[in-house]
Chains A and B, each alone.
Chain A
Amino acid sequence: MGNIADPVTHWAFVILVSVVMGTGLLIAVAFFRRWTQIRYARYVHTLQRQYRPVLAEALSGARNPAGIEALRELPLADLELLLDPVFSKRKLPERCLVFLQALCAELGLIELWQCRLANGGSAAFPASGSGAHSGFHDRPVGHYLLRAKSIRNLGKLRHRPSWPLLVNALDDRHADIQSVALRSLASLGAPESFPVLRERLHAVAQGKSLSPPLQGLQAAMVSYDLDCVPALLPSLRHSDRQIRMYATEILRTMVRRNAARPQGFTLTPELLTPQVVELLLTGLPVDPSAEIRARAAEVIVFLPDPRALTVLGDLLRDPQWFVRLRTVRALAHLRQAAAPLLLDMRECLHDIHWRVREAAIQTLISRGPEGKRQLYEHFLTSTDRTAREQIIEVLERAGLMAVLVEEYSAGANGAEALMVEQLASDAASQGLSRVLCASRPEILRKFLDRMLPGVIAKLRLLEEASPEVESAISLQKALTIPPNLAA
């Protein structure tokens, strides 16, 4: 070791000792943490093992006064710990939710959570129970984590009377609390809170306020029922383009969410109010903002109004490609008879933008036999190579090539049969040959029985033109089928 009296060496030595001590401290903290975690896990485990049967009984609706009494004797913090796994679950069954709400009310937990939220968390606990665990120090009253969990729990319970407290929480100093409050408001779905959120949306969109986050607001608003849509009218009519756009987006998402539900869905004027319907048919489709027009199309398809078809037809010819794209995609969900629009959709197969063309193919397929017929006819008559390639690609991805082969083998006629023959004679479709290779032998045999005479006739013509062509090789190449089958 060098001379410690030398100032540089001295300081280096001091730093060295500090670092050694610091490392030791870190190791000690790591061990301590592991020890406390093990202790905590054991405590929670014991608690849950002891009270889980009582809890399960209560959540199944069985009445057990002795069990409830035992739970009541627990400190509130322990009760929260006990119920935390239940609230952390992805989704609580509806039946369980009713009993859980009753249990939480009986144990005073709802009151506790509401107290935490009132006055920014500084309110005192309710009289029953203490705030602390029996074995561990709890977080200080007013800690944001306690507030966040309280909001989460009230939301999960769908405790509607708490909505004003959750609205107040949107002004919490902690940004996370605002986000959790938004999620809980969405879960509650109290119609009274919808106008409050709308006003917040206006403030945030106009830059008057930075919180709560815009995306969170939108996500919360789309979770409300469609009954709340009339309250969105001021936003849909707002002079600010951004606000109109957000409102249309919210409306679009609400409608699509409802439309995706298995039970029937109709967007009646009674549900939306005549003013909203009128705005959808006459105002939004001619909005200067293409973003708004595109989103409006996705709502209009669900309107049972006869004017909707004309509006959608106009939107299919919109100058902006993404309006056409969204409209053509939306038409897959059209509830009315789409016959008048099928020709417009077929026009989209010539669109300058490939994504519109692709969407048009997909929509025509989704429109059932009539849509497919239009698509096949277009394929057979079109000279546009790109459009034809795209049709083949989408057919393959949708698994329709195999369906076409099966139908052809079963003797189907019309556009489908011509389509298959065209695909086979082009010899350009990898997909067709793969489908043939993977087909069941009887389907393949029937297919070849029907296809081969035509192919052989063509080959004869080819042979006459160029005798050196060997027909067997050509045939094999044309269909890319195993040689034994070709023979």
Chain B
Amino acid sequence: MKTLVRCSVILLSALASVSGIGYAQEQSDYAIVQGYQSKYKEILKQINQVQTVQECADVQTSIDDLERAYVDHRDLLNQSLYPDKFDEQIMKARVQLRLFQEKIGVIESQVVKIAQLESQVRQLSASVDSLSTANSALMGNVKNLEENVKTTGMSDKKLIDSLMAMISKLQNGLRERDQMIFSLVDSLFLQYDKDVTMLKDVEKQRIVGKVEKNGVLGHIQKSLEDNLAFVQSTDLTAPDLAKIMSEQQRFAGQWKGLGGKLTHLYSAGKQRTKEMQNIDTLLARWDQKATSSFWVALGAMFRQNSIDLGTFSDGNGFYRSFTARLDSEIQNPAKEGNDARYKRYTNFEGNIWKGVSASSWLPMLVSQGKLTEDQRKDIEKKVDDWKGTVSPPSTTLYIAIFLVIVVLLAALYVRMRKGKPAT
């Protein structure tokens, strides 16, 4: 059945791609040539208007983009364009731009550097778009898989593994997009190579234009909405949530830097404060949701290892509950036997303290200011003390039991021998 489904999917994909090719072939050559000509004319117009190094770089990038976009239609364009063919037109545009650069005294190496950054911006913008689409699809798949897991009642290990793998993939995808957005912003601001406060009004307007053209604020909002939806709709473990909280903090730090620049830029012209306020709100909601989910997940992780800490909703609450429990384990007021206590400690050590969790959540709580360094040291000392109060079940006891059994068996054997009548 599975093979049948897989075959159907492959067949449908193949049909879809074939029909896609068919559609592509049905494009009008005339429309392609007209589209190219209109963009080419626009570039020629821009060349005549360049005045700054950034404008020269913009036009250079536009020429590169135009050539790249139409390279697959080179033959058609070379046949159709008259009197200059495609290759000649592109060359002419480059030469004309160089002449204008010389005329206004712009150095070619500066143009090349800025054009490279601008090209990066455009590529990153396209990558952010495609990653957003991929992440939306992944989010849908995670939801479907979660429904399936709920239906099967956590009994299908393969399904749960698939879900965990998909969640991890989605988490990576979200993180990658966040990083890409800020790389895009960096490439955009690097083109100006000076502090925003030192920029002229015309330069500020150009950056604002680029920020809007590349949909920077829109990308940031979308990214935050997706991150928030991910935390709200997915059952995540404490270590996963710890990573998300770090990601949130990193994002907030980067937004703080960018937000300051944008406030300065927009004050010179168009107002975008509403969008920026919305970003601040989304960031705060993401932080709040990730943090509250983290405390719940951390309590659940302890409970799964037979350590009930009760409920807590902040670092101090966690510290109080955890240290109280550690004191109780150390003092052992109920005089519980060593074996049960030893087993509980080893579970704690393996699954919570020295597993992947210890390397992520405890230091992270300190770095985020949710626990103080003293609180951390105190917790670590108490865990050491707890370890000191338990010990593996004694081997001498086992040896003694073994010896008693041997002696008993020997006595039984001797008695049986004596009881036997002489022959």
A binds B: no
